[in-house]
Amino acid sequence: MMNIEIDEDFITPSDYAIMVKNVPKGLDVNYQYELTKIFNGEAVPDTHIVVTNVDLVYDATELFEEEEKMGELVKEK
């Protein structure tokens, strides 16, 4: 029980966050609206989910990997 009480004191946004990957790019839609609509009821039926915010970000992992490779090449030269 003590663990539950301590955890309740340290609730953060990540306790309620969902990360969605591979959202198609270039569609002529309002992404915030469409994602909110999906998760507000269509994603998990018979639940009370309220989406309060949708932040669109881009996965820059490939870019960072390429920059690291270029840095290594520069060091070799």
Number of domains in the chain: 1
pLDDT tens-digit series, residues 34-71: 888 888 876 666 777 778 888 888 778 888 899 999 99
Range of the domain at 14: 2-76
> What CA–CA distance (Å, rounded) separates 47 from 28?
29
List the one residue out of 77, 76, 38 whose CA is nearest residue 54: 38
Q: In b/e form, how buried is each residue of 46-56, taking b as 16+ CB within 10 angstroms?
A: eeeeeeeeeee
pLDDT grade for 9, boundaries at 50, 70 and 90:
confident
pTM exceeds 0.85, yes or no: no
> What CA–CA distance (Å, rounded) separates 67 from 64?
5
